[in-house]
Structure 1
């Protein structure tokens, strides 16, 4: 009967026998290397379901597996034991501290200096799992066991595996190994910010990888690209003297290459995911673009503005209604997804020089007002006057409310409003304006009250014609 078919007491009895066999052989030395490998593989199979596998999920079991994982006489024995450990740490969080207490975590970090992706994957996964629910000291792993240096060697190795021309395929095991390593980098840098600088040397190589790999048609942020962006989002990207030979964000051969690839990824993502799916996936990318823009020289800044802000062509319809990336982002900025809409609005604000007036001119009052209010920023005086009087002070040819060109606005060819319709519309605008003023969103005289005061608006007499008669 195969390990997966044993259940209940029979499974527990067999797991106990296998663990005891390995334990006894530490002194008896009777099992051949092949026997040890088979025993460990059987334990791993039994351990895929923790029920009735208690001897594995115990101090004795983890310590025993750790000895075979680091002191086993062959690579196959060590690899099989480490797979058992990784499985146990994944399925039972209590075993993570048990493993840390064995004292072998440093050996895991040292073994990350390997040319075999299969081994890299399992070692990175073990360390990644210990970032949760343990008291592990990653500063010791970095300073005494070369964890950051060995991770750098892995990222460099993977960057070399991906050719510029894309003719050579990137194997699944290589991608899985790099993914686990990047998850480790993200967690350590995120949970222990003081250690994030240890991973700074990864930056140019991560950008090299992201430029060389293709953007998946489906779920562009669910695979390797997403993990690279997550890792980059935790690192300090500011160019500092002596840090790199040349700025990795804006390389001399093409200052816009990284910006271009990241915006293409964003464009692909907003075309595939809905707002709920985008929130956990795209927010790190949006924050990464914000950070890059703030460090960018003039050329890449103008390039990002050109790609991400509405262009004149977008203004043939109200802003947000075209099929461009900027319109899609602005529509997403009104979604219920709090972090997503905040990140998009922040990106537009940064692209507008963090200036409320420029933001309003770039994306229209309708999209800008909510963000400015949430930041406690006053609405630009030009926008207030435009809203109050329908003048064109914000721009000579653009409606400041909708962002549409005046010459592209539809002409009303319907019948003129009746006097009562005009009065009802004036009353509605009066109430709306009073609410905006009470909420502190605008500071200007109510245009309806102003019209009445100046004699430009009269109340209907009781005997006036009504379209409701």
Structure 2
């Protein structure tokens, strides 16, 4: 009989005390059958899910008892390893420990004092054990290494935890590639992709905490200079407020300062290939509304490596662009998960708006962007930035893939139903977010930090917010002129007429007469910054009321940014009029109806 957590606290304490006493006495439990021992540990596991009344379970002696039943009761002898029993009772004991570490974090320190991490790393027969055993060992390693930078050097140098992780990841990758894992999917609740995701989480813990220890920084970086566990688990990130200081250095990778270098290849190089192989060879679940494990875990781990120092792994000579193209595919998939009015498609990907949909429908199509996708995209964008900085062919591949020379320039860049169009839309949002700044950094990097090329491709109206927020100066006419349809570079662009530098699209002038935008600019009286201007207002169609409200909102946000940075002094005209007494309240006459 298996007890559920329905006992009163006092009765529960009494029963747990009796169970622990019996399980701590070899003279008692040695007389039990395997079934009775398993059921006793199962009852202890069930009641331990609720911390109320489990004080005895969290004691050091109880943790030692569970380690003994899990086959981890003693340290390995010098030069020898341990063997996991892989019995149902041993798995139940490890499950009890995992639940305990999750509920009561202080018990992890007790287990570390009892050398649990050393004993887990000394297991040598895991390849012949069940997938459940693999998952439990990985989960225990994950919890023991979470926010524990002080033990990482010992775990890496003395316990050889990276060798254990690399061996287990290679084992499951071989099963997945050879299709050996597919036959057990229906019978075993634990799968190789699931175990692989747990192992990659452990590898990320070990790598990131090792870097934190080496650089003597806090284990969880603040801001966006590092990747926190909350970002990996999909927790929301607070929206940054407008400030004169840029949150992320323009065009740079936010985790560059916290990456492994060539000097760390001996200890951590063995973890890199399994992470890359996971992205390249393990099929990704496209029905998920984000990047699912183990692919999200592999991306997080790759962020800990500097691509320029591990070029042979990131860009092998046989196919130097394979990883870049795979990551670009994942980025295409994530940005394709845009939903129409918050409704997702049946296949997991969101339905596309009809080609004749109005601008308002297209705006709703993008405005319902899923938050899970946003948090999945951040690590991926940072990784793409890091790769584009280290490898010029990868940079060109991404730029030509998302912004081809023969794309339709008669459509506004932010309205194009393409990956590049969605990036520009995110960039053009009036309020700055980590996602919009990361997209801006990636695009700024793809065009070699040339602000004029960026503006020529996406339009100044879309890039203005990012440029102002990051403090990047832009002078109209200071760079190359926007490409024209007959410029001879690349394939001809679709549509007649020059590219409007404000909107980034081709506006055919009235009567079909082409007009040049060269030298068109205006100088603001409040700022020396020169801004491109339209040659004629007749180029644009009349704006709808909704479009006017959107443009007014963008202008208000832009003025607010300029005021905060000290460029201009601006006061809302309505608020000023009320303060000066030019408006007064007038009571409505109810009898007028």
* TM, length-normalised to structure 1: 0.78
SS at match of 1:315: coil
Query: Which blocks of at least 5 consecutive residues in structure 1 are unaligned?
Result: 241-245, 385-391, 414-428, 449-469
Contact conserved, 1:161 with 1:170, CA < 8 A, in 2? no
The residue correspondences of 1:307-456 to structure 2 (distance < 5 A) are: 307-309=401-403, 311-335=405-429, 336=431, 338-382=433-477, 393-396=481-484, 397-407=498-508, 411=510, 433-434=524-525, 437-438=526-527, 442-443=529-530
Residue 64 in 1 paired to residue 75 in 2? Answer: no
Cα distance, 1:84 vs. partner? 0.9
Q: Look up the match of 2:332.
A: 267
Residue 305 in 1 paired to residue 406 in 2? Answer: no
Q: 1:192 aligns with which of 210, 215, 220?
A: 210
Q: Deviations over 1:131-162 (max 9, x none)?
A: 34657512111111110111111121122122
Contact conserved, 1:166 with 1:213, CA < 8 A, in 2? no
Q: Look up the match of 1:251.
A: 316
Residue 10 in 1 paired to residue 11 in 2? Answer: yes
Cα distance, 1:51 vs. partner? 1.9
- Partner Cα distance (1:269, 1:47) in 2: 39
Q: Deviations over 1:324-380 (max 9, x none)?
A: 100011111234461111110011011001121222222221222222222222103
Contact conserved, 1:55 with 1:61, CA < 8 A, in 2? yes
- Partner Cα distance (1:374, 1:81) in 2: 54
The structure with the greater share of residues assigned to helix is 1
SS at match of 1:149: helix
Aligned CA distance change for structure 1 residues 380 and 215 (closer, same or farther; 3 Å) = farther
Contact conserved, 2:197 with 2:294, CA < 8 A, in 1? yes
Query: Which blocks of at least 5 consecutive residues in structure 2 are unaligned?
Result: 75-83, 215-259, 339-368, 485-497, 513-520, 536-593
- Partner Cα distance (1:151, 1:174) in 2: 14
Q: Look up the match of 2:45.
A: 44
Q: Look up the match of 2:156.
A: 142
Q: 1:232 aligns with which of 289, 298, 302?
A: 302
Cα distance, 1:114 vs. partner? 1.8
Could you say what the CA RMSD is over the residues aligned between the two structures, in angstroms? Answer: 3.3
Q: Look up the match of 1:124.
A: 138
Contact conserved, 2:194 with 2:293, CA < 8 A, in 1? no
* TM, length-normalised to structure 2: 0.63
Q: Look up the match of 1:94.
A: 106
- Partner Cα distance (2:420, 2:468) in 1: 21
Cα distance, 1:71 vs. partner? 3.2
- Partner Cα distance (1:16, 1:211) in 2: 50
Q: Look up the match of 1:82.
A: 94
- Partner Cα distance (1:68, 1:136) in 2: 28
- Partner Cα distance (2:470, 2:162) in 1: 39
Contact conserved, 1:320 with 1:327, CA < 8 A, in 2? yes
The residue correspondences of 1:216-227 to structure 2 (distance < 5 A) are: 216-219=285-288, 220-227=290-297
Residue 207 in 1 paired to residue 276 in 2? Answer: yes
Contact conserved, 2:502 with 2:533, CA < 8 A, in 1? no
Aligned CA distance change for structure 1 residues 443 and 20 (closer, same or farther; 3 Å) = same
- Partner Cα distance (2:531, 2:461) in 1: 17
Contact conserved, 1:83 with 1:122, CA < 8 A, in 2? yes
Q: Look up the match of 1:460.
A: none
Contact conserved, 1:309 with 1:363, CA < 8 A, in 2? no
Cα distance, 1:33 vs. partner? 4.5
Query: How many residues are matched?
Result: 413
User: Which one has the largest radius of gyration?
Assistant: 1
Q: Deviations over 1:359-418 (max 9, x none)?
A: 22222212222222222221033179xxxxxxx9444432111111244x7x599xxxxx
Aligned CA distance change for structure 1 residues 161 and 347 (closer, same or farther; 3 Å) = same
- Partner Cα distance (1:405, 1:446) in 2: 14
Aligned CA distance change for structure 1 residues 101 and 446 (closer, same or farther; 3 Å) = same
- Partner Cα distance (2:407, 2:463) in 1: 20
Contact conserved, 1:130 with 1:136, CA < 8 A, in 2? no
Cα distance, 1:29 vs. partner? 4.5
Contact conserved, 1:182 with 1:228, CA < 8 A, in 2? yes
Cα distance, 1:289 vs. partner? 0.9
- Partner Cα distance (2:449, 2:503) in 1: 20
- Partner Cα distance (1:381, 1:150) in 2: 57
Contact conserved, 1:318 with 1:402, CA < 8 A, in 2? yes
